[in-house]
């Protein structure tokens, strides 16, 4: 792929970082990784572009704008002002829901100032661990679509320990967390074991395990002992007070200690990938399984190991859902995190630091989205989320739009391989 | 984005050596034999012996005959005989082993024997009477969108582009079919569904072929995009104006004259709407075209070894563009089946993961059209069985029945299919 635009003169300040060094002709340049700054620029511009496309959708969905558009050619300004209002309203609500809301801050309470941030963090907590799970599997050459099932199993195990066992305060939480990790690890481990043992493709097995976990959950929610009395609704017993993750900013805000667990998990995964022998082995298998095998690594064993760890991480997402955010298991306890985690991992380029920021960004979008609902359908958040990842995955598109120079591999270029591994 | 001028990669020049483990084939043979024997033992112990001795099983063939055609079997002996048959298949596998050609038939026979024994059990007189033709009819109805989705995957992946976006293409097809079907008419809706699927196909093609985006990533993202976009547009337009925008007429049933009056087969295959017939045509056309025509040869060449194909003058990228967009249209057609092909209106996430099942069927069927269709039919049958049993037979908790198709897939993929081989260049962008 040659870059037709790479020799064009720098047209705006966005290219300053790239243009500061002399650029040899495209043919002579060696391919190199994008610099950190450029990565950030592309991410920001992808976000802006996605928001711009979202703005068009908001305008189209706004009734007043459409009414004004019917006389667009005789008096076009109404269309623009109405569209502007609709877009401003929606994005203001998005910001107020996710970062800071001057209206509730006026009350002067801590909750008023930090409430929106707390919502962002609550949403980000499971997305970060889920993203770590998918990202780690990517690095080892596996595509873990099984987040949903692993989260469900994590929540079921953690929830069961939470409401069925009686233990002292500190110990109970730890037992719940451990149980959740075990639950997720079992579910992920099955897929890894099947791949190692029989070669069954993990994309198929994890998708199937998602459905199995879902129906298992539905069954459990109809069993006495698991289901909450009076047994009319498909909802589990509430988790014991002792087993709940404590709130971080006091009882008025929902953000809970699960966030700390997520960040610890990020550090552990970062260390694992960067410094440990196991991480080196996983990355080697992910980069080229044949070379890894030739070098004497046990490829099959690494499949099992990575799926166990990935499952345990998703199990932690389930823990955060059931011991932190909610107290009772319902049939949508996974809340779509298993699939959102894939986009988080991709946005974070399967890199633990990136995943934390990506999780925070998507957490903010989710938190703001529920606030935005009064103006425009919440599914817009999903569209924006998809567009961001799409543009980041194809930096060439963003560079073409904003006339940026230079190169660098897009996200995922070195992550998931094709079906043949 | 890489500026690498695709150097000769290692896998192009190194012939892959494989160490043949002599014991492995024996272990494999005995392992498979054990699988057959286990199924046979289950058939006898958990199915046949559960049937009350002397009770009759009633199997009904089709409401079309006023339930006239009934098969009354002595349940227990029949099920026992079928169990023994499976055990014999297992024994043969242990002693002689089935070959590459006969193995699928052995599996199919085992499956059939187990199913008939199972149906004998659940249809013991007095508990329930099962309509076999109705069951098969439902299987086909549930399988049609899967077949179309899997065929879309065949088109894309045989030319070397991974298509995980089948779900998104089907969803957008379902949406476009419903809205255009409501405004203009159902047949235009069908066309719109294909166009919508093809548009997502265009996105998949441009981003994967021109911008070299990782195709697995891209597919996932396109699914999210389609889910978000259809949900957004549904909330913004279709839900508030449901009477005008979300009430398409369901495609009418067309009876093929002559064929539709054949007993059993007629109501099963030839009393359906146009999507089903289009699916029949596509199955045959794609299978023949892929293996018997110049287009098919080029497609397979591009999917297996694009460089070689390029060397002999095949325009690799053009072939890929064409196939991916065509595949999108086929998946869109499959999506239309969810709205104007069956229930009419659109609802959020109406495809509910069927695109992923189609993907599994594609892999299960080893990237061949006929294999994919077979796998889709299996999924369709399992779902139909689940629907029927959850209504008529309260013996097993319905949630466990609902797991059956997915459990069966895991067993099939792990036990029988094992390591499948995708087209060699599947997922790898081609750079000259």
DSSP conformation letters of B118-172: HHHHHTBTTT--EEHHHHHHHHHHHHHHHHHHHHHHHHHHHTT----THHHHHHH
Cα separation, A219 vs A152, in Å, equals: 13
> Residue A178's pLDDT is what?
96
Structure tokens at B286: 């794609």
Q: How far is Cα A221 from Cα A274, in angstroms, rounded to an integer?
A: 41
What part of B 187-216 touches A (C-beta under 8 Å)? 207, 211-216
Tokens at A366, concatenated? 């989710």
User: Is the residue at A198 inside a domain?
Assistant: yes
H helical segments located in B9-131: 10-13, 22-42, 75-95, 102-122
| Inter-chain touch B363–A380, beta carbons under 8 Å | no
Structure tokens that stand for B320 in this block: 């890929």
Instruction: Give me A153's structure tokens.
Output: 């199993």
Q: What's residue A12's pLDDT?
A: 42
Cβ-based burial of A247 (10 A; exposed 0-12, middle 13-18, buried ≥19): middle
Copy the structure tokens of residue A291: 């070379």
pTM of the model: 0.83
CA distance A405 to A397: 12
User: Which CATH number does the domain housing residue A163 bear?
Assistant: 1.10.3470
Residue A196 lies in a domain: yes
Rounded mean pLDDT of B95-117? Answer: 82
Name which of B308, B359, B370 is nearest B162 in CA terms. B359
Query: Which has the higher per-residue pLDDT, A262 or A27?
Result: A262
Domain boundaries, chain B: 22-128, 134-393
**Is the model more confident about B400 or about B336?**
B336
| Percent of chain B topping pLDDT 90 | 38
* Token code pair at residue B222: 């396109």
Q: How do residues A45-81 score in pLDDT, each as one tens digit?
A: 888 999 999 999 999 888 888 888 888 888 888 888 8
If you average pLDDT over each of A107-121, B140-154, B386-400, which comes out highest? B140-154
Phi-psi region of A359 (alpha: psi -120 to 50; beta: other; left: phi over 0): alpha
Least confident of A3-12, B93-102, B365-374: A3-12
What are the tokens at A365?
């979008």
Q: Which residues of chain B neighbour A211 with C-beta distances below 8 Å?
A: 353, 402-403, 406
pLDDT of residue A13: 39
Q: Which residues of B touch A31 (CB under 8 A)?
A: 2-4
Q: Is the pLDDT of residue B192 over 90?
A: yes
Inform me whether the pLDDT recorded for B3 exceeds 70.
no
The number of beta carbons lying within 10 Å of the beta carbon of residue A49 is: 18
Give the Cβ contact number of residue B284 at 10 Å.
12
B216: nearest CA partner in chain A: A416
Residue-range definition of the domain harbouring residue A205 = 105-377
| Cα distance between residue B250 and residue B343, in whole Å | 7
pLDDT grade for B324, boundaries at 50, 70 and 90: very high
Whole-angstrom distance, CA of residue B207 vs CA of residue B174: 23
Q: Which residue, among B162, B152, B193, B175, has the nearest Cα to B275 in the 3D structure? A: B193
At A24 the pLDDT is 47
User: Residue B11 is encoded by which pair of tokens?
Assistant: 């896998």
Rounded to whole angstroms, the Cα distance separating A378 from A188 reads: 31
Contact B224 A197 (CB under 8 A): no
Domain made up of B134-393: CATH architecture: Orthogonal Bundle (1.10)
Q: Is B364 on the interface with A (CB under 8 A)?
A: yes
What domain count does chain A have? Answer: 1
Q: Which of the residue ranges A44-48, B47-51, B202-206 would you say has the lowest mean pLDDT? A: B47-51
**pLDDT tens readout for residues B110-167:** 888 888 888 887 777 665 667 788 888 889 999 999 999 999 999 999 999 999 899 9
Q: How confident is the model at residue A276 (pLDDT cuts 50, 70, 90)?
A: very high
Nearest to B167 by CA among B204, B140, B122, B141: B204
Interface of A with B in 114-153 (CB under 8 A): 143, 145
Of B305 and B19, the structure prediction assigns the larger pLDDT to: B305
Backbone φ, ψ for residue B73 (5° rounding): -115, 150
* pLDDT score, position A17: 41
Is 80 exceeded by the pLDDT of residue A94? Answer: yes
Asked if residue A200 lies in contact with residue B413, where contact means CB atoms within 8 angstroms, the answer is: yes
CB A83 within 8 A of CB A64: no
Q: What is the mean pLDDT of residues A36-44?
A: 80
A420 in any annotated domain: no
A7 touches chain B (CB under 8 A): no
Residue A26, pLDDT score: 45
pLDDT digits (tens, 9 = 90+) for B221-243: 899 999 999 999 999 888 888 88
A89 belongs to a structural domain = no
Picking from B3, B217, B222, the nearest residue to A412 by CB comes out as B217
Answer whether A379's CB lies under 8 Å from B232's CB.
yes
**Cβ <8 Å between B232 and A57:** yes
Of A327-341, A364-378, B397-411, where does mean pLDDT reach its minimum?
A: B397-411
For residue A229, being part of any structural domain is answered with: yes
Chain A segment 63-102 residues within 8 A of B by beta carbon are: none
Q: Are B414 and A198 in contact (CB < 8 Å)?
A: yes
Residue A189: its pLDDT value, please?
96
pLDDT recorded at residue B379: 87
Identify the residue with better confidence: B258 or A361.
A361
CB contacts under 8 A, A 402-421 vs B, are: 407-413, 415-420
The confidence score (pLDDT) of residue A107 equals 81
User: Would the ipTM clear 0.90, i.e. be above it?
Assistant: no
Residue A84 Ramachandran class (φ > 0 left, ψ -120 to 50 alpha, else beta): alpha
In a domain, A4, yes or no: no
Give a yes or no: residue A343 inside a domain.
Answer: yes
d(CA A353, CA A266): 7
- Higher-pLDDT residue of B5 and A284 is A284
Over residues A370-391, the mean pLDDT reads 88
pLDDT at position B204 = 95
Beta bridge partners of B74: B56
Q: Please, what is the average pLDDT of chain B?
A: 84
Query: Does A207 contact B359 at a Cβ distance shorter than 8 Å?
Result: yes
Read off the pLDDT of residues A279-325 as tens digits, 9 standing for 90 and up: 999 999 988 888 999 999 999 999 999 999 999 999 999 999 999 99
pLDDT band at A16; cut points 50, 70, 90: very low
**pLDDT at res. B2:** 43
pLDDT at position A412 over 60: no
Listed in sequence order, the DSSP H helices in A62-146 are: 63-69, 77-98, 102-105, 110-139
Q: With an 8 Å Cβ cutoff, are B413 and A390 in contact?
A: no
Residue to test with chain B: of A28, A87, A208, A392, most B Cβ within 10 A: A208
Distance from CA of B299 to the nearest CA of A (A): 18
- 3-class DSSP state of A227: strand
Q: Is the pLDDT of residue A22 over 60?
A: no
Residues 391-430 of B with CB under 8 A from A: 397, 399-400, 402-403, 406-407, 409-410, 413-415, 417-422, 424, 426-428
How big is the CA angle at B28 (ends B27 and B31), to the nearest 5 degrees? 85
Q: What is the pLDDT of residues A171-216, one digit of tens each?
A: 999 999 999 999 999 999 999 999 998 888 888 889 889 999 999 9
Give the C-alpha separation, A122 to A115, whole Å.
Answer: 11
Q: Which of B198-202, B267-271, B311-315 is predicted with the least confidence, judged by mean pLDDT?
A: B267-271
Q: Cα separations (Å) of B339 from A228, B199, B343, B350?
A: 37, 19, 5, 8
Residues within 8 A of B (CB atoms), A 31-70 only: 31, 57, 60-61
How high is the pLDDT of residue A74? 82
Given pLDDT bands bounded at 50, 70 and 90, which one contains residue B417? low
| Calpha distance A207→A209 (Å, rounded) | 5
Residue B173's alpha-carbon distances to A379, B337, B339, in angstroms, are 18, 9, 9
Between B7 and A170, residue with greater pLDDT: A170
pLDDT tens digits for range A135-144: 999 999 888 9
Q: Which residues in B lie closer than 8 A to residue A407 (C-beta atoms)?
A: 1-3
Residues 6+ positions from B400 with CB-CB distance below 8 Å: A215, A219
Q: Which residue of B has its CA nearest to A412?
A: B214
A301 is written with which tokens? 């064993």
Q: How far apart are CA A278 and CA A264, in angstroms?
A: 18
Would you call A57 and B414 a contact, using CB atoms and an 8 Å cutoff? no
pLDDT at residue A11 above 50?
no
pLDDT at A420 over 80: no
Question: Rounded distance, CA B40 to CA B56, Å?
Answer: 22
Q: pLDDT band at residue A2, thresholds of 50, 70 and 90?
A: very low
Mean pLDDT confidence for A211-236: 88
CB-CB under 8 Å, B360 with A383: no
Contacts of B234 in chain A (CB under 8 A): 377, 379
- Among candidate residues A309, A320, A323, A363, the one with its CA nearest the CA of residue A132: A309
* Whole-number Cα distances in Å, B244 to B158, B174, B247, B337, B345: 41, 17, 7, 20, 11
HSE-CB at B183 with a 13 A cutoff on CA atoms is: 10
Q: Where are the alpha helices (DSSP H) in A221-336?
A: 258-275, 277-287, 289-294, 299-319
* A173 interface with B at CB cutoff 8 Å: no
Q: Are A266 and A128 in contact (CB under 8 A)?
A: yes
- Longest CA pairwise span in chain B (Å): 76
pLDDT at A14: 40
Which pLDDT value is given to residue B133? 81
The reported pLDDT for the residue numbered B317 is 94
State whether residue A286 sits within 8 Å of chain B by CB: no
Which of the two residues, A399 and A1, has the higher pLDDT score? Answer: A399
Predicted confidence at residue A353, as pLDDT, reads 94
Position A262 in a domain: yes
Res B202: pLDDT:
96
Within a 13 Å sphere around the CA of A131, how many CA atoms are in the beta-carbon half?
Answer: 32
Residue A71, pLDDT score: 83
Residue whose tokens read 């002002």: A81
For the ranges B25-39, B52-66, B79-93, the lowest mean pLDDT is seen at B52-66
Higher-pLDDT residue of A124, B219? A124
Q: What is the mean pLDDT of residues A92-101?
A: 89
Residues 6+ apart with CB under 8 A from A67: A82
> Does the structure show a pLDDT above 70 at A418?
no
Using alpha carbons, select from B21, B24, B42 the residue that is nearest to residue B32.
Answer: B24
Per-residue pLDDT band for B97 (boundaries 50, 70, 90) equals confident
Residue B56, C-beta contacts closer than 8 angstroms, at least 6 positions apart: B72, B73, B74, B75, B124, B125
Identify the burial level of A4 via C-beta atoms within 10 angstroms of its C-beta, where 0-12 means exposed, 13-18 middle and 19 or more buried.
exposed
Min mean pLDDT across A195-209, B222-236, B260-274, B300-314 is at B260-274
């Amino acid at each position: 792929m040659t870059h037709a635009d790479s020799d064009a003169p720098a047209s705006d300040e966005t290219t300053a970082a790239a243009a500061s060094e002399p650029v040899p002709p495209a043919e002579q340049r060696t391919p190199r990784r994008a610099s950190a700054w450029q990565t950030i620029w592309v991410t920001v511009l992808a976000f802006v572009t996605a928001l711009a496309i979202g703005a068009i959708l908001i305008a189209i969905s706004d009734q007043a704008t459409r009414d004004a558009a019917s006389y667009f050619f005789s008096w076009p300004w109404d269309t623009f002002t109405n569209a502007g209002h609709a877009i401003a309203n929606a994005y203001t609500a998005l910001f107020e829901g996710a970062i800071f809301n001057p209206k509730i801050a006026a009350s002067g309470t801590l909750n008023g100032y930090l409430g929106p941030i707390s919502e962002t963090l609550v949403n980000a907590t499971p997305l970060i661990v889920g993203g770590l799970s998918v990202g780690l599997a990517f690095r080892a050459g596996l595509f873990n679509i099984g987040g949903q099932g692993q989260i469900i199993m994590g929540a079921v195990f953690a929830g069961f320990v939470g409401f069925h066992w009686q233990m002292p305060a500190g110990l109970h939480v730890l037992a719940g967390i451990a149980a959740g990790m075990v639950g997720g690890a079992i579910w992920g481990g099955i897929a890894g074991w099947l791949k190692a043992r029989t070669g069954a493709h993990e994309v198929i097995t994890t998708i199937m395990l998602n459905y199995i976990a879902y129906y298992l959950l539905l069954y459990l929610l109809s069993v006495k002992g698991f289901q909450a009395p009076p047994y009319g609704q498909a909802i589990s017993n509430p988790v014991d007070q002792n087993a709940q993750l404590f709130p971080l900013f006091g009882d008025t805000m929902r953000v809970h200690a699960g966030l700390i667990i997520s960040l610890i998990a990020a550090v552990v995964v970062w260390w694992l990938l960067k410094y440990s022998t196991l991480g080196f082995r996983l990355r080697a298998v992910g980069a080229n399984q044949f070379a890894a095998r030739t070098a004497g690594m046990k490829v099959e064993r690494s499949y099992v190991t990575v799926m166990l760890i990935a499952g345990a991480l998703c199990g932690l997402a389930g823990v955060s859902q059931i011991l932190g955010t909610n107290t009772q298991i319902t049939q949508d306890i996974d809340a779509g995190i298993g699939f959102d985690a894939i986009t988080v991992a991709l946005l974070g380029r399967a890199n633990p630091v990136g995943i934390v920021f990506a999780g925070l960004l998507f957490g903010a979008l989710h938190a703001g989205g529920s606030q935005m609902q009064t103006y425009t359908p919440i599914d817009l958040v999903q569209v924006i989320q998809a567009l961001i990842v799409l543009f980041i995955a194809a930096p060439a598109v963003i560079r073409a739009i904003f006339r940026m120079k230079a190169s660098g591999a897009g996200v995922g270029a070195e992550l998931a391989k094709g079906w043949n591994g | 984005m890489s500026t690498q001028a695709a150097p000769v990669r290692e896998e192009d020049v190194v012939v892959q050596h494989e160490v043949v483990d002599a014991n492995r084939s024996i272990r494999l043979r005995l392992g498979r034999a054990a699988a057959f024997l286990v199924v046979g033992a289950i058939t006898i112990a958990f199915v046949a012996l559960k049937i009350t001795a002397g009770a009759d099983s009633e199997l009904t063939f089709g409401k079309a005959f006023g339930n006239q055609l009934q098969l009354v079997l002595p349940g227990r002996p029949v099920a026992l005989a079928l169990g023994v048959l499976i055990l014999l298949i297992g024994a043969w596998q242990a002693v002689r082993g089935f070959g590459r050609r006969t193995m699928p038939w052995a599996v199919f026979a085992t499956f059939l024997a187990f199913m008939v024994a199972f149906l004998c059990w659940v249809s013991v007189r007095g508990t329930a009477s099962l309509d076999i033709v109705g069951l098969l009819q439902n299987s086909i109805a549930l399988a049609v969108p899967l077949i179309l989705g899997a065929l879309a995957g065949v088109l894309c992946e045989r030319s070397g582009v991974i298509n995980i976006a089948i779900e998104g293409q089907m969803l957008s097809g379902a949406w476009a079919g419903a809205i255009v079907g409501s405004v203009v008419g159902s047949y235009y809706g069908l066309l719109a569904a294909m166009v919508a699927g093809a548009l997502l196909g265009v996105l998949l093609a441009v981003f994967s072929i021109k911008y070299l985006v990782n195709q697995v990533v891209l597919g996932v993202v396109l699914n999210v995009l389609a889910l978000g976009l259809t949900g957004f547009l549904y909330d913004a337009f279709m839900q508030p104006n449901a009477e005008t925008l979300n009430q398409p007429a369901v495609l009418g049933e067309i009876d093929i004259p002559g064929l539709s009056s054949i007993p059993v087969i007629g109501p099963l295959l030839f009393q359906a709407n146009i999507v089903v017939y289009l699916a029949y045509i596509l199955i045959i056309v794609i299978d023949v075209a892929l293996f018997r025509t110049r287009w098919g040869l080029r497609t397979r060449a591009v999917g297996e070894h694009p460089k070689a194909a390029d060397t002999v003058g095949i325009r690799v990228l053009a072939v890929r563009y064409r196939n991916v967009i065509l595949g999108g249209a086929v998946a869109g057609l499959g999506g239309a089946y969810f709205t104007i092909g069956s229930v009419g209106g659109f609802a959020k996430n109406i495809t509910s993961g069927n695109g992923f099942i189609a993907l599994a069927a594609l892999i299960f069927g080893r990237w061949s059209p006929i294999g994919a269709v077979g796998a889709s039919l299996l999924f369709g049958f399992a779902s139909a069985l689940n629907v029927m049993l959850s209504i008529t037979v309260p013996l097993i908790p319905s949630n466990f029945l609902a797991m059956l198709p997915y459990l069966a897939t895991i067993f099939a993929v792990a036990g029988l299919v094992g390591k499948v081989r995708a087209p060699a260049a599947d997922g790898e962008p081609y750079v000259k």
